[in-house]
Amino acid sequence: MEKYREIEKSIIKKYRKDIWSKFVKAVKDYELINEKDKIAVCISGGKDSFLLAKCMEELQRHGQFKFGLEFIIMDPGYKEEVLNQINENLNVLNIKAHIFKAPIFSYTDTIENPCYLCAKMRRGYLYKYAKELGCNKIALGHHFNDVIETIMLNLIYTGKYGTMMPKLKSTAHEGMELIRPLYYIEENHIKSWARYNDLTFIGCACKVTKKDIGQRQEMKKLIDHLKTYYKKADKCIFTSATNVNLNQVISYSKDGEKHNFLDEY
């Protein structure tokens, strides 16, 4: 059996509970995919987006309705060895992708704390290219841990409660939507899947992450520390986004309008 077939089989067999079932549940719970969608699966080169690509392929083959897929890779200024690793994984996983250039690192490498700007620029280029391919959605490989880290980042650095949503309508690109089908999948299971299949992926190729000084890295460490006090702390952080009681909130914003508990006191 060719290696990519074995990798595909591992997703729906060995990792059925921890990856495949959670992937399908997120798609159903949040209505991420509809009949006749054409979805651009955005591959960064890391483990998460490559797993997403294989899950989307499997769902397209055996799902309940028809939808189209395109696989796109943005080169923000990767070094040659990074691009070689990405192309090698494309071959191993039997994925045919469109690769396009975007001059992002040339901007972000010159500023401090560039992660927000980098993410914003990446998304803009991805939306634009996906739309040129006739897609109405882009799929990103954010997972469970990304969601809870975002909650903690908002609490600690901005003093507000907010999470990474499972889907969003683009405000800058009409008719486009962003979806996150790995929403329920924990990063440790993705790492296990990669190890089991003897796969090596790139990490974030920017200078900031290599120095390990990013705020998101700090949140990873904080959440790990909280789990030493209560092992389900990460699950509770995630669930908190579905258990907000407005009767116990002093104020909140909705569609740009601020509401206060005194309005109805």
pLDDT in tens, 236-264: 999 999 999 999 999 999 999 999 999 99
* Cα dihedral 59, 64, 66, 67 in deg (nearest 10): -40
Q: Has domain 3-257 been given CATH number 3.40.50.620? A: yes
Q: In the chain, where are the structural domains located?
A: 3-257
Amino acid at 175: G
For residue 73, what pLDDT is reported?
Answer: 96
Residue for token pair 């990798």: 7
∠ CA 199-23-11, rounded to 5°:
35
CA 40 to chain centre: 13
What Cα–Cα distance (Å) separates residue 111 from each residue in 68, 76, 104, 159, 210?
38, 16, 12, 24, 15
For residue 110, what pLDDT is reported?
Answer: 62
Residues 6+ apart with CB under 8 A from 1: none
pTM for the model stands at 0.92
For residue 211, what pLDDT is reported?
Answer: 46
pLDDT tens for each residue of the chain, 265 residues long = 699 999 999 999 999 999 999 999 999 999 999 999 999 999 999 999 999 999 999 999 998 889 999 999 998 888 899 999 999 999 999 999 999 998 877 666 666 666 667 777 888 899 999 999 999 999 999 999 999 999 999 999 999 999 999 999 999 999 999 999 999 999 999 999 999 999 999 876 555 555 445 788 899 999 999 999 999 999 999 999 999 999 999 999 999 999 999 999 9
Question: 42 and 139 in contact (C-beta within 8 Å)?
Answer: yes
What Cα–Cα distance (Å) separates residue 129 from each residue in 122, 124, 182, 247, 256?
11, 9, 22, 43, 29
Angle at which helices 187-196 and 47-62 cross, to 10°: 80
